[in-house]
């Protein structure tokens, strides 16, 4: 979708459970937009409904807090049809969830669908699910997400300016 300057910038991050990767992406992206002075509507959801209403995984909260990013107040939500109308950019954390997003995409949706890691051309395009891993998996995940969300902010800022 071509960016229009009169539209508020809106970005939705999507993983499976909305308790690990997408809340980390939401927090990291929000931090980066604030640092750039950008006003963006940001949210995250899961394609699955396992953790609706739940806070992020304590390991995700801890790794974000270590960098001063507070995601403890976020609550799990499942991707809905309305999200395709409410968000200009829907960004999947992995290819499996991209497939889940496309399966729910309403006819005529104008939301631009992307993979988070497309921003720097990673071969497989997926941020690995750390849920069944350990703290080091969360650390790797957080680092990967921070780098990519920083690049997304630069890309979107460029779109707004251009």
Binding flag, residue 18, ligand 4NP (CB under 6 A): yes
Q: How far is the CB of 39 from ligand 4NP (least distance, A)?
A: 27
Q: Which of 9, 11, 12, 16 binds ligand 4NP (CB under 6 A)?
A: 16
- The mark string for 27-56 relative to ligand 4NP (x by CB under 6 A, - otherwise) is -------------------x---x------
Residues with Cβ within 8 Å of 4's Cβ and at least 6 positions away in sequence, in order, are: none
Active-site annotation holds for 141: no
3-class SS at 11?
strand
Task: List Cα–Cα distances, 155 to 102, 116, 118, 149, in angstroms.
Answer: 23, 12, 12, 10
Q: Which of 11, 12, 13, 17 binds ligand 4NP (CB under 6 A)?
A: 17
Residues with Cβ within 8 Å of 40's Cβ and at least 6 positions away in sequence, in order, are: 8, 9, 10, 11, 29, 30, 33, 156
Binding flag, residue 15, ligand 4NP (CB under 6 A): yes
Residue nearest to ligand 4NP (CB): 17
Given 77, 94, 129, 141, the catalytic residue: 129
Strands (E), the chain: 9-15, 40-46, 89-92, 112-115
Active-site annotation holds for 21: yes
Q: Check residue 78 and report its DSSP letter.
A: B
Any idea which residues carry the catalytic annotation? 15, 21, 129
List interacting residues with ligand 4NP (CB under 6 A): 15-21, 46, 50, 129, 131
């Amino acid at each position: 979708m071509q960016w229009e300057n009169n539209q508020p910038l809106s970005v939705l991050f999507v993983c499976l459970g909305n308790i690990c990767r997408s809340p980390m992406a939401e927090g990291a992206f929000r931090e980066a937009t604030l640092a750039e002075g950008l006003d963006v509507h940001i949210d995250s959801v899961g394609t699955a409904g396992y953790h609706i209403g739940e806070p992020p995984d304590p390991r995700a909260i801890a790794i974000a807090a270590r960098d001063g990013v507070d995601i403890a107040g976020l609550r799990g939500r499942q991707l809905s049809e309305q999200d395709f109308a409410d968000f200009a950019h829907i960004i999947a954390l992995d290819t499996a969830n991209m497939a889940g997003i496309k399966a729910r995409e309403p006819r005529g949706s104008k939301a631009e669908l992307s993979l988070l890691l497309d921003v720097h051309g990673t071969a497989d395009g997926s941020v690995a699910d750390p849920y069944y891993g350990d703290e080091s998996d969360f650390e790797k995940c957080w680092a990967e997400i921070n780098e990519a969300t920083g690049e997304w902010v630069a890309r979107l800022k460029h779109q707004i300016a251009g």
